[in-house]
Amino acid sequence: MKRFWVIIFFCLISCFLFATGCAKHKPEKTADELAAEGLAYFEEKDYREAITSYERLRDWYPFSVHAKDAELKVADAYFLLEEYDQALVAYQTYYQLHPSDPRIPYVLYRIGRCDFDQMVSVDRDQTPAANALESFRRLIDQFPDHEYAVKAEEHIQECLKNLAGKEHYVGKFYFKSKHYKAALHRFQSVVNDYPDFGLHAEAKEYIERCNDLIAASAGEEDIDKGYEQPIVSDGNVWPE
């Protein structure tokens, strides 16, 4: 019996401490006040403070009429701060939570822009270009007539240009390293998989040179094999 009352006592203490903790974190401002505060900071371009206000609104009043706007404003603020990884997560979360929201075309566009704005020169990793291309194409597939689809199409060309440039750059690297088959594959990709961004003519020249060098190399191997093995049972001296 004594044990029972001890348990009750600790339960009451726990409840009291929990209630006290909740009281300390009681929202200090209404949803309307936080929405107005966040907007004021946002318009003043104080995006860090805007994020704080909008995140409080989102967390304290998740069912408020302002909650969705707050979620999107947080993403926009991170984007304008050029903190693209955080912005990308916020936009993707919004897309997953509100797939039928009328602002989804804008959200998809910004998802693409988060990667697009991180694109680098062709001698570096082109993952941002590939990701941006995928996002922009998804936007066009889902909302082909939307104004943001038109903007996405313009960016797609830049993505393709970077990706083609990367293939060409790697192809030249392989060629200089005398890895002609690997180089050939890259130059063929430039010609077959991408529009001509001024690279096709040179890529075709490299394709011809690669084919000649591969053929010459194969001939040299056959000569070497001929000296080592003068009798070839199947009559085929060409490597597979």
pLDDT at 11: 40
DSSP calls for 127-176: HHHHHHHHHHHHHHHH-TTSHHHHHHHHHHHHHHHHHHHHHHHHHHHHHH
Region 206-224 average pLDDT: 82
pLDDT at 184: 98
Residue pair 193/166 in contact by the 8 Å Cβ criterion: no
Q: Which pLDDT band, with edges at 50, 70 and 90, does 207 fall under?
A: very high
**Cα–Cα distance, 183 to 192 (Å, whole number):** 14
Q: Which pLDDT band, with edges at 50, 70 and 90, does 9 fall under?
A: very low
pLDDT at 218: 81
Q: Where are the alpha helices (DSSP H) in the chain?
A: 2-24, 31-43, 47-60, 67-80, 84-97, 104-116, 127-142, 147-176, 180-193, 200-228
Six token digits for residue 6: 């001890």
Six token digits for residue 170: 């790697």
**Cα–Cα distance, 124 to 79 (Å, whole number):** 23
Six token digits for residue 154: 């313009």
Q: Is 45 left (phi over 0), alpha (psi -120 to 50) or beta?
A: left
**Cα–Cα distance, 33 to 79 (Å, whole number):** 24
Q: Which pLDDT band, with edges at 50, 70 and 90, does 220 fall under?
A: low
Residue pair 148/105 in contact by the 8 Å Cβ criterion: yes
Q: For residue range 17-74, list pLDDT tens digits in order.
A: 434 444 445 678 999 999 999 999 999 999 999 999 999 999 999 999 999 999 999 9
Region 230-237 average pLDDT: 33
Q: What ranges do the domains of the chain cover?
A: 29-81
pLDDT at 4: 35
Question: Residue 167's closest CA among 181, 197, 188?
Answer: 188
Q: For residue range 144-196, list pLDDT tens digits in order.
A: 999 999 999 999 999 999 999 999 999 999 999 999 999 999 999 999 999 99
CA distances from 127 to 120, 134, 166 (A): 10, 11, 11
pTM for the full predicted model: 0.78
Residue pair 45/14 in contact by the 8 Å Cβ criterion: no
- C-alpha radius of gyration, the chain, whole number: 30
DSSP 73: H
> Terminus-to-terminus CA distance in the chain, angstroms?
87
Q: For residue range 94-137, list pLDDT tens digits in order.
A: 999 999 999 999 999 999 999 999 999 999 999 999 999 999 99
Which residue pairs from 183-187 have beta carbons closer than 8 angstroms and sit at least 24 positions apart in sequence? 183/210, 184/210, 184/211, 184/214
